[in-house]
Structure 1
């Protein structure tokens, strides 16, 4: 057991049961670290990023970086010295745009593939020689696509190009691409930040660790094709089917004036009929025959048949669809929540390996989908392992949601569509979307009716919070609406409703109210209810889904981010004391999936690093089962200031210092760029301080990696 300071904090003198009751993680004392401060040491040693303002011990990751790593700009040196620079949202957005602009100095991927259509107007560089001269050294190991029986799609831009076989294609740039030998792995520093002083052999001896190639290239669908994007940006897409639904509902279509009306098909000339017609005649006849499937009025068009012959996967034939929606069996299912930023395709693919039954894509804004934004369409990509997959859209007005629903039905491969009526962030609510719909149920009704009427082949679901106002659903001041909506949304056309047991005003100040969720689920005439909020163990899941509560399924959000193996624990009903090496293998798999999805070139590697770091900002919150004195663990438990794991690697994985997360990413993705820094986007260290915890829970310091945007995952 580490030395304990003479003046112990009040919480340290409590028993394990008392700590758990106060919302403090009851970690065994031998796994806590305490530093005995010498007189005057506080003045000499600068406070690290993990050090609290009250002078408590910093996190184990607060050791200084090596001198070589501290070189760089002033911000990097200040970061290495432990100084935290607070940044406004405006400054964060500005720096993010500057980084994106800097990234555009790289070589155009499409040009390297020989398919760039922009020529000299392209925003990316087309100078292959300059790119090869400045290309970073290759990473060790085989190319992630080595075992896929396909040529690496990134060619000489791949960070593992030295392992590629000799070029066998007619690529015009292949001759100019010399083979770069992979840089040898670097030995890991013995005194890595956040780890124990002694090297116990649990950390990889050399980094970066070679990644095993994928057995097969992951196939994904729902890509935004250029011709469809052009139609959307030029207002040439035919939304007459959605507009007809809006007219029936008496909703004014605000966007109709901007849309160019498609030209009606011209009747064939008699001479052409006598001669049998020209080559384009079958396409015109097919377009006319498609109208009866959409109502028989000859006006509504599901797709542009004239482009269907081009083999473009974005245009799907609507005549072959079933007349009824394919139902989804929600009973007992474990649903992965639509997690903004962190719920990307590689993470969903990882959760499928641990037993997730249903996955939902990240929240996408309906207006951005209609405008053809590539970044928003990327949120609806689906991996082949996602057997039941839904897309979540967010919008505040029925015209946008109806058109978005038609666009999704015509072009997106998914099993259901979910409308987000629970997002709490101001940016969304101020535009009349998200949780603000809970204040205007009449507008919410039009939104649900419009979207459900347009969707003919797949069900519609709705995700809500308990209400908009109130510090807690059980408070007398709370104006809950979920118990009323659960009866109405079925009449409006929704097939299920997810209820997050918190109000919008509450955020994460209190625990989720599962008693209120059960009240909604037991209401007469209620649609199937999917409960969401604070599930962190199989015991909690079994208690909250008992037969008397009436909850049909459960949705896991932050619990899945902190411990993705929660799906396995729930299905097997056991507390999995997962080892540090198993968790590192899980991180390695995420890196492999990320490279498969975002690419193995420099841009893809850094994109994978960024999203891996976002996930690590949650993953580090996990406290191993073997370190706790009380089970099951609770999500709202605050950890002690410093945790010493059972191995050097376990200590490192528990670090709350972003510099340690960067080092973990370097184990698989190579060194980070010069001057690279990371700040979590979301408040991943949000803890509930429920009634009865008082100042005891607040007395436990935690890292200040709270992010710069409102929390929306959970």
Structure 2
């Protein structure tokens, strides 16, 4: 029986340390502090609180100063000589002497630090472990050969030293390294020729095999990106649907009589629609402009595909990794797939940014071949933008490569910047708009199904989606949603329900009883109208294999979408698939970190910029993984996500290090795999409580 207070992780007394625990990370505050360009820092919705005075707002602004309202991670470039990318790849530069960068490879290499060594799985077993910075005063470890480092920090000698042969992960996977002489692992794919000149090496057999098997998928071609940026990309499906939608809205807006029931439903003549009537501000917006369309887009749109003709999603018994902003990138998804994740989804992308050809947004849709079932998530509220983005995805990614299995519409994002634009969880309060978005996306995507991720409602204590979810099955009689005489909406292929309202964020446990109510409502309509069965996943507080299957059995869902549980312990998918609790060892956890580093280098690149971008995202991952409490030191199982531990030591030196909440220790762990961090590089975590160094 646990001796700890309720809400405290039941850690065995012999592992507890007698010093104050650091503050618990605030996931609510961190949720909105990811990409500064796409998401503003989150705060309580002003409409939920009394209006504050000018003095109060000024005081709050001062209190927020220094917080992570704008985490910027500048690109770290090569020190000294800047080598031309064309020359680095072994080719010639078209600009010749006019090129701004240097063309002398020998001079460039002489100006660079020693190349890096990427550890292997065997190397991880031999690695020495650096001492956690926070353990200097009261260390439970008995390390040997400690030396002073970084102004008083201690580390075991050779903490990042690995004696293995140099290897480049890009070359290992593709047979060629696109960064050539700029690669920090150059000797893995270079040799001296007969003249003594350093030349690049290519593994032609592997390169040929990868040309067939494919590397990363879903790359937007340059022609399409240029057309999007110049607003010359023709969108015939969006244009036709938007024209029908605008006419329908105008017809309904002028229809009499109009009355509002006591329950808030708006009635147009004899037809009734739940929720307020709304007309898009951009009903006359046209994305096609006056420019000539691309040749591939000049054809007349095909007849819309019916819901029953779409590809069916068979997700029963499968594990689903949630789309996670900032941290849910391709390397992290690959790591989760290696632990057994079956379904993955890219980070949330804004429809408007997709349509403007934003490089950053289109990088979110990249898919690795190991991802067996992959989807893209879109956020937006305007019909032309959302349907247009879906049309581009359908034409450029699905038709040309088949790298997308479903497209998810985000109806759950709670952060203010998204909510106040009418997107994310705001769509739950505008069901007519939501219906039009789903119908338009479904038409634009052809056989690819549309899925939807929701919360239980917007306001705390006012769950509403039990009325909404059954309406999302089937298709309307006129082929577009929200029209009179509708039997249902242009249906979705799957639904996911997060068991909290937008206002609750993470402050309370997910309401799985309500999720069961919603599942029962959907299943009842499917049975009544003999509709095809669609997958329904729940979401919220899943943190162990045991809890996963107990939740599935009790709620009737087909599975649980795993979010924070996967961030804290990516190996949760192994636990789920094997129906067990895994008391993972510290070396096994370190091997997962090694995999992440290798996947990151393969995705972000092996040059200086790519290495430190990988370092940044590895530290982001460690900012969640340090919160894992090893099962072997707990008095009671299974572990629960909402139980916060006091200060504790691990069962060995490495386990103690991995439990460090000091962001500087995360950087030091990254150095075990990516070499020393540049002096100009720093990491600011999303959870400010971890930035001990900045607090002085």
Q: Determine if the TM-score, normalized by the shorter chain, exceeds 0.5.
A: yes
| CA distance 1:451–1:218, change in 2 (3 Å) | closer
Tell me what 1:480 maps to: 463
Tell me what 1:220 maps to: 216
Tell me what 1:680 maps to: 685
1:294 aligned to 296, 302, 305, which one? 302
Alpha-carbon contact 1:416-1:461 (below 8 Å) kept? yes
CA distance in 1 between partners of 2:228 and 2:99 (Å): 21
CA distance in 1 between partners of 2:609 and 2:659 (Å): 28
Alpha-carbon contact 1:497-1:530 (below 8 Å) kept? yes
CA distance in 2 between partners of 1:116 and 1:402 (Å): 43
1:256 aligned to 272, 286, 310, which one? 286
1:205-604 matches, within 5 Å, as 219-250=215-246, 253-256=283-286, 259-262=289-292, 291=300, 294-295=302-303, 324-412=309-397, 413-470=403-460, 478-490=461-473, 491-492=488-489, 493-523=491-521, 524-525=524-525, 528-546=535-553, 549-604=555-610
| CA distance 1:340–1:27, change in 2 (3 Å) | same
Instruction: Tell me the secondary structure at the aligned position of residue 583 of structure 2.
Output: coil
Tell me what 2:114 maps to: 137
Q: Does residue 34 of structure 1 match 2:34?
A: no
Tell me what 1:16 maps to: 2
1:629 aligned to 627, 635, 640, which one? 635
CA distance in 2 between partners of 1:630 and 1:567 (Å): 21
Tell me what 2:658 maps to: 653
Alpha-carbon contact 2:77-2:609 (below 8 Å) kept? no
**How much does 1:398 deviate?**
1.3
Tell me what 1:87 maps to: 66
CA distance in 2 between partners of 1:707 and 1:439 (Å): 41
CA distance in 2 between partners of 1:261 and 1:120 (Å): 35
CA distance in 2 between partners of 1:588 and 1:575 (Å): 22
Q: Deviations over 1:448-482 (max 9, x none)?
A: 12112222120001101111111xxxxxxx22221
CA distance in 1 between partners of 2:98 and 2:510 (Å): 49
Instruction: Tell me the secondary structure at the aligned position of residue 462 of structure 1.
Output: strand
**How much does 1:287 deviate?**
8.6
Q: Deviations over 1:434-457 (max 9, x none)?
A: 111122222222211211222212
1:25-104 matches, within 5 Å, as 25-34=9-18, 87-88=66-67, 92-93=70-71, 95-96=72-73, 99-100=74-75
The TM-score, its normalising length taken from structure 1, stands at 0.68
| CA distance 1:85–1:29, change in 2 (3 Å) | farther
Structure 1 stretches of 4+ moved >6 Å: 101-105, 114-118, 120-124, 167-170, 176-179, 215-218, 704-708
Gaps of 5+ in 1: 1-14, 36-46, 54-83, 180-214, 265-283, 297-317, 471-477, 684-701, 709-714
Alpha-carbon contact 2:379-2:410 (below 8 Å) kept? yes
| CA distance 1:374–1:249, change in 2 (3 Å) | same
Alpha-carbon contact 1:31-1:643 (below 8 Å) kept? yes
The TM-score, its normalising length taken from structure 2, stands at 0.70
**How much does 1:537 deviate?**
1.0
Alpha-carbon contact 2:75-2:613 (below 8 Å) kept? no
Q: Deviations over 1:275-305 (max 9, x none)?
A: xxxxxxxxx9x998x65x7249xxxxxxxxx
Q: CA RMSD in A?
A: 3.7
| CA distance 1:119–1:363, change in 2 (3 Å) | farther
CA distance in 2 between partners of 1:333 and 1:365 (Å): 27
| CA distance 1:124–1:513, change in 2 (3 Å) | farther
Tell me what 2:272 maps to: none
